A and B are shown apart, each in its own frame.
With several copies, the nearest count.
Chain A
Amino acid sequence: MTTNILEAQQLYFSYPDGTQALAGLSVTIEKGSKVAILGPNGTGKSTFLLHLIGILKPTKGDIFFEQKKLDYRRASLQALRSRVGFVFQDPDNQLFSASVWQEVSFGPMNLGWSKEKVIEQVNLALDLTGTAHLKERPIHALSYGQKKLIAIAGVLAMAPEVIILDEPTASLDPQYTNHILKLLEEINSGGTTVIMATHDVDLAYTWADTLVVMKDGRVLKKGQPVEVFLDDEVLQASSLTKPYVLEIFQQLQRNGYFAEDIMIPRSRQQLLEIIAARGQDLINKRAVAY
């Protein structure tokens, strides 16, 4: 039961200074998926994401939300944005209020919900992001990672069906990175479609279920992580490196270290586990041999 929730058809877009950022980009996003959009800086990832919520309007081409073409009228844009949330890379650009509580309530209030519903949703979002203890703190006293979480909470409080994040883990230390990845996992398992732009191949490989590789304002390839990263042509054309988990696994497999039909590991954890299992295996064999 995969239905497309968002679709872009032949998007073209140029910035006022003449740079062409999108050049015939087409892609479909399935409902409930975890999509990572990959590509080095300057391939139009952010530009594309801003098209998905109608902040930028393509010079040519169309956006579809639930198979319905976006017509860029005020009401349609509002309807779209009430169901698709967007988290910007720099939280200081997104947080406008001095108080955490006010900040997170801004989106829900704009949706015209009752006060009770707003309070409920704000509390839900704060709990989900693990920031309930920051409720009374002013934004300017928060760390970068905390600001990032509040920016996400502000979007989650609107109960979006799709959440789009631009480089959600940039500049974060490993603890916050893990926290945010877990949070996105949780949101996704609740049925929300999650789309993120990133240039971290290791993260994308482990986290996403669908990868979209962009190059020069177009989609070079879309597919499952393993499938995409096994395609050396795509990697070369987009100058992406291979995730280390996959590369080391492949080298070991070329050495004949694993069985032919073994599941390709998707995370460091999995890789270490299959190596450990193989070690156990060898010990057992040796035990039999003696």
Chain B
Amino acid sequence: MIHLDQYAYGNALRNVHPQEKFFFALATMIICLAANSFVVSLIVILLMAGVSILAGKIPLRFYCKLMLIPAAFLLVGTATIAINIVDNSANLLWGCQIFHVYLGVTNQSLLLAAKLFFRAWGAVSCLYFLSLTTPSVEIIAILRKLKVPELFLDLMSLTYRFLFVLMDRADNIHIAQTVRLGYTDIRKGYRSLGQLVANLFLHSYQRSRDLYTALEARGYQGYFRVLEREYRYSKKNLCLILCLEMLLILIAWRYS
């Protein structure tokens, strides 16, 4: 996760208007979802990989590793859909009998599962494009433009900021416990982890109070009013994105 976040700040598309990237990722994702076709899914996967790697300068090896993360859920999830309890063994591609139940894969179920497999992967590649090129701070700014309530956004900012602080602390305590042999068997492991979490909670509580004090000292009046970075729209990018999406819609319409 540290990587995804680091690339968001350090990729080659960092200075492109976040709204352009957000729109591009989301529109493509929705088309991929709605089209539910092999061709569109494959195009989306290739398109997003291409943009992320070539334009965003995300290392190829790292990108491939990322794409494998959801593979496990994908395999289990789609297999569960592909394999069904069937009563007649007529149009089965594959089947087996366990006790009195007959499990099998039909043409239909396999097609459904395979379509789903690629559709989900396509959508994931859109999500990756967004998180690899757009820092969370900018995504919060977009949500502000979309009129998401201020309170929700403030909580989001705080969560994002302190996630790293708490992670450091959790890491440090975990190491401190490890070097004092706290995880040498499962019983000790539970005890140590319980202490870690309890400590983390109390620490969060204390930190929230200290933070309030510090913000009060800087004139906090109930909301996090800050200056957001300004970006310029690029007509070229907007045209490109619109053309791409139109093209995708055409292909989707042709193949479904």
Q: Taking the complex as a whole, does A directly touch B, i.e. does some CB pair lie under 8 Å apart?
A: yes
Give A contacts to B, CB under 8 Å. 16-17, 50, 53, 55, 74, 78, 81-82, 85-86, 88, 90, 92-99, 101-103, 105-111, 115, 118-119, 122, 136-141, 154-155, 158
Do A155 and B180 have beta carbons less than 8 Å apart?
yes
Given A81-B181, A106-B218: A96 and B161 interface contact (C-beta under 8 Å) = yes
Among residues of A, the one whose C-beta sits closest to the C-beta of B213 is A55
Known contacts A55-B213, A94-B176, A96-B177; A154/B218 CB under 8 A = yes
Q: How far is the CA of A194 from the CA of B73 in the complex (A)?
A: 49
Sample (21) of A-B pairs whose CB atoms are under 8 Å apart = A16-B3, A53-B217, A74-B184, A78-B219, A85-B218, A88-B213, A93-B173, A96-B211, A97-B157, A102-B229, A106-B226, A109-B226, A110-B218, A110-B219, A115-B227, A136-B9, A136-B14, A138-B5, A138-B135, A140-B161, A155-B218
Name which of B182, B188, B225 has the most chain A CB atoms within 10 A of its CB: B225
Chain A hits for B172, CB < 8 A: 88, 90, 93-94
- The complex places the Cα of A97 from the Cα of B137 at a distance, in Å, of 9
B216 touches A55 (CB 8 A): yes
Verify if B204 is at the interface (C-beta below 8 Å from A). Answer: no
Measured CB to CB, the closest approach of chain B to A230, in angstroms, equals 36
Q: Which of A55, A97, A109, A138 contacts B179 (CB 8 A)?
A: A55
- Interface check B136, CB cutoff 8 A: yes
Question: Are the C-beta atoms of A78 and B184 separated by less than 8 Å?
Answer: yes
* Stretch of B17-25, B43-51, B122-130, B194-202 that contacts chain A: B194-202
Say whether B169 contacts A93, CB under 8 Å.
yes
Cβ–Cβ < 8 Å partners of A105 in chain B: 226-227
| Cα separation A121 to B10 with both chains bound (whole Å) | 26
B175 within 8 A of A: yes
B196-A96 in contact (CB<8A): yes
B69 interface residue per 8 A CB criterion: no
B175 cross-chain contacts in A, Cβ below 8 A: 50, 55, 88
Once A93-B169, A97-B224, A118-B227 are accepted as A-B contacts, the answer to whether A107 and B181 lie under 8 Å apart by CB is yes
> Which residues from chain B contact A50 at a C-beta distance below 8 Å?
175, 213
**B178 in the interface, Cβ–Cβ < 8 Å?**
yes
A96 near B137 with CB under 8 A, answer: no
A107–B227 alpha-carbon span in the complex (Å): 10
Q: Do B161 and A141 have beta carbons less than 8 Å apart? A: no
Q: Lowest 10 CB-CB distances: which A-B pairs, in order?
A: A110-B219, A105-B227, A140-B164, A93-B172, A110-B181, A107-B180, A102-B226, A94-B214, A96-B199, A93-B210
Once bound together, how far apart are the Cα atoms of A50 and B196, in whole Å?
20
B250 interface residue, CB < 8 Å from A? no
Which residues on B sit within 8 Å (CB–CB) of A111? Answer: 181, 219
The answer to whether B161 and A98 have CB atoms under 8 Å apart is: yes
B225 touches A109 (CB 8 A): yes
- Quote the shortest CB–CB distance from B170 to chain A (angstroms): 9
- In the complex, the answer to whether B182 meets A106 with C-beta atoms within 8 Å is yes
Besides A17-B2, A98-B157, A98-B161, 9 more A-B contacts (Cβ < 8 Å) are: A50-B175, A53-B179, A95-B199, A98-B160, A101-B227, A102-B228, A105-B226, A105-B227, A110-B188
Given A16-B2, A92-B165, verify A81-B217 contact (CB < 8 Å): yes
Whether A110 and B221, one on each chain, are in contact in the complex, defined by CB atoms closer than 8 angstroms, is yes
Contact present for A102 and B227 (CB under 8 Å): yes
Which one of A55, A85, A141 has the greatest number of beta carbons of chain B within 10 Å?
A: A55
Contact B157 A154 (CB under 8 A): no
Q: B220 in the interface, Cβ–Cβ < 8 Å?
A: yes
Question: Are A96 and B195 in contact, CB atoms less than 8 angstroms apart?
Answer: yes
Residues of B contacting A85 in the complex (Cβ-Cβ under 8 angstroms): 179-180, 217-218
Given A94-B214, A99-B137, the answer on whether A122 and B227 have CB atoms closer than 8 Å is: yes
Closest to B202 in A: A140
Question: Using an 8 Å CB-CB cutoff, how does the interface string of B201-213 with A read, 1 for contact, 0 for none?
Answer: 0110011001101
A167 to chain B, nearest CB (A): 13
Residues of B within 8 A of A82 (CB): 181, 219
> Which residues in chain B, 134-157, are within 8 Å of chain A measured between CB atoms?
135-137, 157
Question: In whole Å, how far is A78's beta carbon from the nearest beta carbon of chain B?
Answer: 6
CA of A102 to CA of B138, assembled, Å: 11
Q: Which A residues are CB-close (under 8 A) to B188?
A: 110
Contacts of B213 in A (CB 8 A): 50, 55, 88
Contact with A110, one of B202, B225, B228 (Cβ below 8 angstroms): B225
The interface residues of chain A lying within 8 Å CB-to-CB of B3 are 16-17
* A98–B229 alpha-carbon span in the complex (Å): 13
Q: List chain A residues, Cβ under 8 A from B182.
A: 106, 110
Residue in chain B with minimal CB distance to A107: B180
B residues near A137, Cβ cutoff 8 Å = 9
B218 touches which of A102, A119, A158 (Cβ 8 Å): A158
